[in-house]
Amino acid sequence: MQEERNWAGNYRYSAEELFEPERVEQLQEWVAKRHRIKALGSRHSFNSIADTPGSLVSLKKMSRVLELDRTRGTVTVEGGIRYGELASYLHANQYALHNLASLPHITIAGACATGTHGSGDRNGNLATAVRSVEIVTSSGEAVVYTRGEQPEADGAMVSLGALGVVSKLTLDIVPSFDISQRLFENIALSQLESHFDDVFSSAYSVSLFTDWKSEHFNQVWLKCLVGEEDPFAEDEFYGATRATVPLHPVPGISAEPCSEQLGKRGPWHERLPHFRMEFTPSAGEELQSEYFVPRSQAYAALETIYKLREQFAPHLYTSEVRSIAADPLWMSPSYDRDSVGIHFTWKPHGEAVERVLPLIEAALEPYEARPHWAKLFAMAPERLKSLYEKRLDFQKLAASCDPQGKFRNSFLERYLW
């Protein structure tokens, strides 16, 4: 196999082959014959979670929409489709998904497998929209888990790639909606002490960005539902001032790749991601980390990070703070608690990032911070395991789908078993 790397280029897969089936039967036959396998999505994860010493399989040739069921309010897709592709289809049919991540280029299966999220204090992560998944398990058999029908279904939606290859997903859909995106500049960290919930409940999706170079968050991104009363017609938002030109989350960079701002209304799929689908970054000169803390302790956690800023800020492009509703999905970082994600987009300073992550993690330890599965972290396996009370149930589910451990890799062995 030619050298294959992840999107950021910081990780080189060690697999011997990469298979791209066109039909589920081909996939089933191939899976049954291999010893070590891992499914690969759009390669946007930053660590070794998608790697295997054996064979990689990509479903990029299996990316069709299979069925739109208006009565049940669902859409069924093949396992290789990306959010951007499905979003255009749904919008053309007057439907939407409840939420999207910051970029639309990622696959639905890969994003859900790692608990990927957008923002919104009432919005669960993207996997909460999964009604059912079809998984090709180690024998080659396709097994379906449906929310509410089997108790283990709650373990199958954020699957970390450990159960098999997700070949089909059925997702909840909602009627299409419009969003207008408004940005404000320079909100003081101190405003969040008494107004954290006010700020995060003030729009359908809210993100704060900071480079931690001052006591202010550089930007507030409010993605407001058109039709809801607009409380932000004012020029001020908790002391922040309305942005009068489009902004990129990283100060000083052109806003051209960003989704439309300045309050211009538009369809959900062109406003919920921060970046446009037609802007296709080939490779990212960046690394990422993210930690999830209980929403009730988010301000204290942010203050703690602020005190460390001199040590990590030189290596940072920007940090983003988002809100994610609690969910019942066993391996989800927002399992059973309303959460706030504190995200770091790092410059490609690998060694420095490795040095500062333990400092950040030590500071966040009192808040039981769970790291994003697909991003960089340094946490000791025993500590990480202790943060997931359903881990042993997940192990049992994985063993029933994959008794031989075909879908295990060193990442999963380290953090789950």
Ligand X SMILES: Cc1cc2nc3c(=O)[nH]c(=O)nc-3n(C[C@H](O)[C@H](O)[C@H](O)COP(=O)(O)OP(=O)(O)OC[C@H]3O[C@@H](n4cnc5c(N)ncnc54)[C@H](O)[C@@H]3O)c2cc1C
Q: Which positions touch ligand X (CB under 6 A)?
A: 7, 38-45, 49-50, 59, 79, 101-103, 106-107, 109-111, 113-114, 116-117, 160-161, 165-166, 284, 288, 372, 374
Measured distance CA(59)–CA(23) in Å, rounded: 9
Which residue, 191 or 373, has its beta carbon nearer to ligand X?
373
Which residue, 112 or 191, has its beta carbon nearer to ligand X?
112
Handedness of CA 158, 161, 163, 169 (dihedral sign): positive
Helix (H) or strand (E) run with residue 183 in it: strand 178-188
Contact 131, 171 (CB under 8 A): yes
Which residue, 287 or 363, has its beta carbon nearer to ligand X?
287
Contact 334, 117 (CB under 8 A): yes
Question: Cα angle at 222 between 81 and 90, to 5 degrees?
Answer: 25
Min dist CB 56 to ligand X, Å, is 9
Q: Can you tell me which residue has the tokens 């960046």?
A: 286
* Integer CA distances (angstroms), 188 to 58, 113, 216, 243, 360, in order: 45, 35, 4, 15, 21
Measured distance CA(169)–CA(145) in Å, rounded: 10
Q: What is the layout of strands, in order, in the sheet containing 130-136?
A: 65-69, 74-78, 165-172, 130-136, 142-146
Min dist CB 277 to ligand X, Å, is 13
Min dist CB 249 to ligand X, Å, is 11
Which residue, 147 or 343, has its beta carbon nearer to ligand X?
343
Which residue, 113 or 360, has its beta carbon nearer to ligand X?
113
Which residue, 110 or 371, has its beta carbon nearer to ligand X?
110
Min dist CB 46 to ligand X, Å, is 7
Min dist CB 193 to ligand X, Å, is 26
* Integer CA distances (angstroms), 274 to 121, 155, 342, 386, in order: 17, 29, 16, 33
Min dist CB 239 to ligand X, Å, is 26
As a residue count, the chain comes to 417
Q: Encode burial over 361-375: b for 16+ CB neighbours within 10 A, e otherwise.
A: bebbeebebbbbbbb
Which residue, 166 or 224, has its beta carbon nearer to ligand X?
166
Which residue, 38 or 191, has its beta carbon nearer to ligand X?
38
Measured distance CA(86)–CA(63) in Å, rounded: 9
Min dist CB 305 to ligand X, Å, is 18
**Residue 167: how many CB atoms within 10 A of its CB?**
23
Which residue, 59 or 416, has its beta carbon nearer to ligand X?
59
Min dist CB 349 to ligand X, Å, is 16
* Integer CA distances (angstroms), 317 to 121, 144, 184, 328, 361, in order: 25, 41, 19, 33, 19
Min dist CB 62 to ligand X, Å, is 9
Which residue, 45 or 74, has its beta carbon nearer to ligand X?
45
Min dist CB 276 to ligand X, Å, is 13
Q: What single DSSP character describes residue 318?
A: E
